[in-house]
Amino acid sequence: MGTGGVCLKLVCKGGKFMSDHPNRNAKVKHYLLSTVDKLFNDGVGKSKHVIYQLNYVIEKKRTSSAIHSYSTKTTYKRVVAKFADFLKQEYNLKYERDFKKLTTDQLYNYVDRYFEKQKEQKLSKKTLQKHVSALYKVLSAIDKNISKYFDADNRAKWTDGMEKQDCDRYNNPQKIIENLKKINETAHAVAELQRLVGCRVGDVKKIEIDEKRERVVIKKSKGGRDRTIYFDYFKDDFERVKEYKKILDRALQEKSFSQIRKEEYYKALKEACRRSHEIYHGSHAFRYEAAQRWYEVISKLKQEEQEAYYRRILEDRGVSDENIEKAMEYVREKDAVAEAIISEELGHSRLDISREYLKLKGK
């Protein structure tokens, strides 16, 4: 199948593309995953651009029937495995031999129902688009006639999912944390550290505890800037930071943080969100939560306490006396001392960025 030297080794039979040596007792999932492997083997190491050019000459379309990257192969395998599970659960369709008996119209109806079920799970548009791309490529390699159903109208209907979430805090982060604790101890510790320290996930491994001064230091955060987070008004939180740091340090004796992040944290967080009936939108939401929680406390302090807090931060950063006075004058004028404190502790250089985290309008 395909043009421009990219040909999946399948045999056409009555509009269906069948494998050379079908295993009639094989499961649908195995069949679909094998098809992904065949498409990848046809495309790996070959220039997609060159194939696009060749196919444009022949078909007037810049397309490739193959899969050219490992990441795409991995994504498509996840999608077709989920589709196979759906066929088994919804229609008791388990075996390759039964899948191959489907007419193109039946297969289309199953695909249509599949996307109805995915949208019920409130998947994002971006995720649904990946599912459409995967099923189009893989099912078209099995049944060339199915491609006509992947038209603009159906694609629009199938990808009508949730818009990308504003990266705010979760609705019920505590419930997510409770479920995360049941799933994976290390993932739970990472999430708690993000919530307590307000750090990006990549900075969790950089956390240094200054027990004497009750503060946390993160060296070379985003942009190469050092961050200091003070716990004068959050003493219980500081004790919890020490507790979760110990758990993470133990885990780091066995795995790198990169492994923990990829193999444990994100998977566990997605599952915790599912159990909590929350739409997953990453771990950065915990940084938003920290900022908003800090602001709720700091904004209620007396003006002189806020100013002393902000001055201390600037002094610790090594800002000159002259520039400290300029900064103090500016935040007083804007009535934004508390916002400036949060901005410094988040490691932001501009108030407007921190206002996005705090959901505040500019002054």
| Pair 150, 247: CB distance under 8 Å | no
Residues 6+ apart with CB under 8 A from 149: 104, 108, 111
- Give the pLDDT confidence score for residue 169 in this predicted structure: 86
Among the candidates 219, 250, 285, a domain finishes at: 285
Residues 45 and 126 in one domain: yes
Q: What is the pLDDT of residue 222?
A: 78
Q: Where a domain ends, among 255, 285, 315? A: 285
294 lies in a domain? no
- In this prediction, the residues of the chain whose per-residue pLDDT falls under 50 are 1-22, 165, 361-363
In this prediction, residue 16 carries a pLDDT of 43
Q: Are residues 72 and 199 in the same domain?
A: no
Residues 278 and 303 in one domain: no
Is 327 in the same domain as 234? no
Shared-domain flag, residues 25 and 99? yes
Is the residue at 272 inside a domain?
yes
pLDDT at 272: 97
Would residue 2 count as lying in a domain? no
Residues 101 and 212 in one domain: no
Residue 254 has what pLDDT?
95
Same domain, 329 and 193: no
Statement to judge: residues 33 and 51 lie in one domain: yes
User: Looking at the structure, do residues 97 and 185 belong to the same domain, yes or no?
Assistant: no
> 176 and 152 in one domain?
no
Q: Is residue 118 part of a domain?
A: yes
Non-local (6+) Cβ contacts of 80 within 8 A are 29, 32, 33, 35, 36, 134, 135, 138
pLDDT at 361: 45
Q: If 0-12 CB within 10 Å is exposed, 13-18 middle and 19+ buried, where does residue 297 land?
A: exposed
pLDDT of 307: 96
3 falls within a domain: no
Residue 163 forms part of a structural domain: no
Instruction: Look at residues 158, 177, 205 and tell me which one is the last residue of a structural domain.
Output: 158
Instruction: Kindly state whether residues 332 and 255 are assigned to the same domain.
Output: no
Amino acid type, 90:
E
pLDDT in tens, 325-346: 999 999 999 899 999 999 999 9
Domains: count for the chain: 3
Asked if residue 207 and residue 313 are part of one domain, the reply reads no
* Residue 261, domain extent: 168-285
Write the pLDDT tens digit of every residue in 240-298. 999 999 999 999 999 999 999 989 999 999 999 999 999 888 899 999 999 999 999 99
| 29 neighbors 85 (Cβ within 8 angstroms) | yes
Report how far residue 27's alpha carbon sits from residue 159's, in angstroms, rounded to the nearest whole number: 28
